[in-house]
A = this chain, B = another copy of it.
Amino acid sequence: MPSWTLHQGDALTLLPTLDTLADAVIVDPPYNSGGLQAAQRRGQSARGKYVSGDANHLLPDFGGDRRDQRGYTYWLSSMLAASLAAARPGASALVFTDWAQLPATSDALQAGGWVWRGIIPWRKTIARPTRDGFKRECEYVLWGSHGEPTRHAPSIYLPGWLEGSQPRGKGRVHITQKPVAVMRQLVRIAPEGGTVLDWCAGSGTTGVAALAEGRRFVGIEASGEYAAAARQRLMAAVDKEPAAA
């Protein structure tokens, strides 16, 4: 049985067709921030928004980042409801968000049928300072469960705070790529040998982390370009791993 699969296509279409129920759904959807504040509401694409002027790198853009806040909440709750149907009872959902979308994301999580169980802040360590105010240095992971969460045996105790800088330089494939070290902490919410599902796979970091921690991975990615990049990273990750006993 392969320890990972990556589908390319529309997540809402593909989710009902998966043949394994997930033990954890871990996603990093486009945040769609900018619906609230005038300075950001310029119809910018993700690249224009997130990449600073002098950092002229050539990472491909990503779609799905132009909804307004109601649209975002509605879209995300549909996705999370579909995820619930694709997840085992007791499974967990972990959803990344920034500060501005945190309340909307918690609404979507609960509207999707998940029980909200907490927030795990992620400190990015490299962030621009804010003049005359507090630096916006953290992103947030919202934790939900499908009913009562699964008991682990032996019990595990996971951190309530994550730290790690975004990948830089050659290792970086996606604009908003998460550090593998951070993801490795998160995938442990699925039991060993369990399945982690990410329907917003991007460059496949969730999968790389899942494999490194001895979990299976099912990914969905809309963009062909990113799906290809993710497959490459996943193949490399399997080679690196010692064969299972």
Contact = CB atoms under 8 A, between A and B. Distances in A.
Interface of A: 36, 92, 99-100, 102-103, 106-107, 116-121, 123, 127, 129-138, 140, 143, 149-152, 155-161, 189
Nearest to A92: B133
A136 B160 contact: yes
B106 A118 contact: no
Contacts of A129: 157
Contact of A160 (B120, B131, B134): B134
B137 A143 contact: no
Nearest to A37: B115
A156 to B, nearest CB: 6
Contacts of A121: 121, 123, 138, 161
A135 B157 contact: yes
B99 A118 contact: yes
Given A102-B103, A127-B160, A138-B161, A133 B117 contact: yes
A7 to B, nearest CB: 28
A113 B130 CA distance: 22
B161 A132 contact: no
Contact of A130 (B107, B130, B135, B158): B158
A149 B151 CA distance: 47
Contact of A103 (B103, B120, B135): B103
B127 A102 contact: no
A118 to B, nearest CB: 5
Given A102-B102, A106-B103, A135 B158 contact: yes
Contact of A158 (B36, B92, B123, B133): B133
A-B pairs with the 9 shortest C-beta distances? A137-B160, A135-B160, A103-B103, A129-B157, A99-B119, A121-B121, A134-B158, A132-B152, A103-B106
Nearest to A120: B134
A119 to B, nearest CB: 4
Nearest to A150: B132
A117 to B, nearest CB: 7
A93 to B, nearest CB: 12
Contacts of A134: 117-118, 120, 143, 158-160, 189
A152 B123 CA distance: 26
A136 B159 CA distance: 8
